[in-house]
Amino acid sequence: MTTHHKIIFGNCMSMNEIDDQTVHLMVTSPPYFNAPFDYQGLYSSYDNYLNVLQSFAKEAYRVLQNGRISVLNIDDMLVDGRKYPIVADATKIFMEAGFNYRDRITWKKPDGYLRISRRSGVLLQNPYPMYFYPDNLLENIIIFQKGKFDYKSKSKEERELSKIDKVEFQEKKWYSTLWEMVNVLPNSSNNLEKGIAAFPDELPYRIIKLFSYKGETVLDPFLGSGTTIKVARLLERNSIGIEMLENLEETIKEKIGFGKTISLFNTEDTLEVIKRSS
């Protein structure tokens, strides 16, 4: 199946290029407030951050078709010793935008993949009460729905074409609220995700398979390195990505198979790049 992909370089607080109700699934990972390493000082205040989420949630609701799903990979964030309740706030913001809160999956990373593993070691140096600072091995995947899906809107053929592999579903335990997936180490090598807080392919892979049909359109408004477009393309879905940083263009193109390296994707697929700045 030939698919079409679009990258918009700009701020996803507005999604003017996307018409109402033209997206079938959103899967994305917004910045985690002013996360140490990745987004230090990006937002002037937590309120400013929540305003960004509010505008983005409103736009996500507008562009999504009735009955469809929006998924956020997000987590509470510890900044300067203070923990910000991002999951609770984002859930509230999405509900206020009109979405129904449908599910929360906990993503567990493998032991040994921590980024701040010395945090919990404080207690070993000071084995006394009040020195407990646990390392975070978890992230959240929160799932929202816009109204009710009309199961009869898909023909038998369309349903069969996007059938979910029951063996994969069972063996990888997709059925539970605990998903064990290996995370991308941000600075491990010279990979395309270097310096970008990318999620692993496995995350959009599961979400796209579970909540969209082949030939439909998947949106990621915080595109980063382009993981969602890459997986959408592999799974024969169209896609739209929005990313603020224009300097990620080459990285994204390379990752999604429209770069210099010869790719194994369907060569008939098309890519459109829109730059609001030009």
Contacts to ligand SAM by CB under 6 A: 11-13, 29, 31, 52, 193, 196-199, 222, 224-225, 227, 242-245
- Residue number with CB closer to ligand SAM (37 or 131): 37
Contacts of 13 (CB under 8 A, 6+ apart): 52, 55, 56, 59
Element housing 108 (H / E): strand 100-108
- Residue number with CB closer to ligand SAM (172 or 194): 194
- Residue number with CB closer to ligand SAM (122 or 185): 185
- Residue number with CB closer to ligand SAM (109 or 154): 109
- Residue number with CB closer to ligand SAM (47 or 268): 47
Burial per residue of 29-68, b for 16 or more beta-carbon CB atoms within 10 angstroms, e otherwise: bbbbbbbeeebeeeeeebeebbebbbbbbbbbbbbbbeeb
Minimum CB distance to ligand SAM, residue 14 (Å):
9
* CB count in 10 Å sphere of residue 97: 20
Minimum CB distance to ligand SAM, residue 208 (Å):
13
Name the closest residue to ligand SAM (Cβ). 224
* CB count in 10 Å sphere of residue 275: 11
